[in-house]
Amino acid sequence: MLSAECYYFPVPTKKRIAVVPGDGIGKEVVPNALEVVRASGAAVEFTTFDWGADRYLADGTTVPADGFPMLARDFDAIFVGALGDPRVPSNIHAKEILLGMRFKMDLYANVRPVRLLDASLCPLKNASPDDINFTVVRENTEGVYMDMGGNFKFGTPDEVATQEDINTRKGVERIIRFAFEYARANGREKVMMSGKSNVMTYAGGLWQRVFKEVAKEFSEIQTQHMYVDALCLQMVREPRSLDVIVTNNMFGDIITDLAAALQGGLGMAASGNIHPGRTSMFEPVHGSAPLIAGKNIANPMGSILTAAMMLAHLGLKAEAQKIESAVLDAVRELKMTVDVGGSLGTRECAQWIAERVAK
Ligand code: ATP
């Protein structure tokens, strides 16, 4: 008979990644980003899913039955390209896939690192990489995105429309705690909460109270509050003062586009949709950009940096670091696509980065 010590439980050695390239430029940038990850030697295996407009138009499927539980059960992370296609004007497939992942898998923290790789990418005068290096933590499952509201006397001159902004104590507390934990884990010094509590008094009041309470558990981290309009000004006038910013779903959506502009545009920005301890999803910030799709001109750097962020999240920090340094080299050596001042195509840019990573 075997003693207990002899039992052998095989542990998967490779991290399992579900890949959803999606639509438009997602289908171009994702395979290129995967090539870069392969070049890094990261112990990962990819399984690609054809969810997106083509599949929806072919057989009406947005997400197959059991899709979300399957992702949570069988994969360590999900890597998404972009979703959205003019042939599906309602974008129902994009909503069901992307919002489905966020809501049904409860990926409550949208994390957006905002880092300027090179001064040449920034539209601000005299801004250097030291000036722009902060992270936005956006609440991802509540707020006005819950689609609650209604119309009264629809279509008449007396019409009334309401849109509810949902803020639960649990939801507010966990995103604020996430921001502090993130700051602590990443050696950040400050957490700023941003909102509009002078106008949205009930929801803003809840955020203010919870922020003060949670902050007590993180005495080494400085705290700050700024109204979101003032924050927009600050992001342009004095971005160096920013560190970790936590905010609600709607304000997060708006300020992260401004943040993307500071780092060189939508083509450069990475994001993660995270629930600690669960299968989380990583996607570049840009959409499917149908106008430039299929032309080999989309910037692959946002998706490559997103892949690096995913590897770091999975504990593959050395590989993530190699990829980030290679992207930095590409920027410095102008091995970039035209949107950021280079002359390479999507494939050529990603190939250059993959070769640099493999060196
Ligand atoms: P969606 O509805 O899916 O969000 P969209 O075209 O409205 O698509 P984005 O995809 O975010 O919005 O892109 C807006 C514009 O930004 C694009 O038309 C394109 O000019 C530019 N853009 C976005 N991503 C990239 C990229 N990776 N490379 C180059 N340009 C990009």
Closest ligand 1 atom to residue 83 Cα is 3
- Tell me the HSE value of 179 on the side-chain side, using a 13 A CA sphere: 34
Which residues line ligand 1 at a C-beta cut-off of 6 Å?
25, 82, 84, 266-267, 286-292, 298-299, 302, 339
Q: What is the pLDDT of residue 13?
A: 86
Report the residue among 257, 292, 303 best suited for mutation to probe ligand 1: largest number of ligand atoms under 8 A from its CB.
292
Bridging pattern class, strands 15-22 and 44-48 = parallel
- pLDDT of 10 reads 62
Are the CB atoms for 164 and 148 separated by under 8 Å? yes
Please confirm, yes or no, whether 145 is among the known catalytic residues: yes
- Two tokens, residue 227: 């109204």
243 is catalytic: no
Q: Are the CB atoms for 77 and 276 separated by under 8 Å?
A: no
Structure tokens at 317: 């920090």
Residue 322 designated active-site: no
Nearest residue to 169 via CA among 138, 203, 192 = 203
N-terminal to C-terminal alpha carbon distance within the chain = 50
Task: Tell me the CA–centroid distance for residue 212 and ligand 1, in Å.
Answer: 38
Q: Which domains does the chain have, with CATH numbers?
A: 12-110+263-359 (3.40.718.10), 133-261 (3.40.718.10)
**Edge-to-edge strands of the sheet including 244-247?**
44-48, 15-22, 77-82, 280-284, 270-274, 109-115, 133-139, 244-247, 190-195, 222-227
Atom 26 in ligand 1: residue holding the nearest Cα: 267
- Name the catalytic one among 54, 106, 253, 329: 253
Indicate which residue of 145, 243, 335, 339 is catalytic.
145
CA of 292 to the centre of ligand 1 (A): 8
Reduced to 3 states (helix: H, G, I; strand: E, B; else coil), residue 190 is strand
The residues, any chain, with a CB within 8 Å of residue 41's CB and separated by 6 or more, are: 319
How would you class 90 by CB atoms within 10 Å of its CB: exposed for 0-12, middle for 13-18, buried for 19 or more? exposed
Extract the residue ranges of the chain whose pLDDT is less than 70: 1-12
Nearest partner of 108 among 256, 276, 253, judged by Cα: 276
CA nearest ligand 1 atom 9, residue = 287
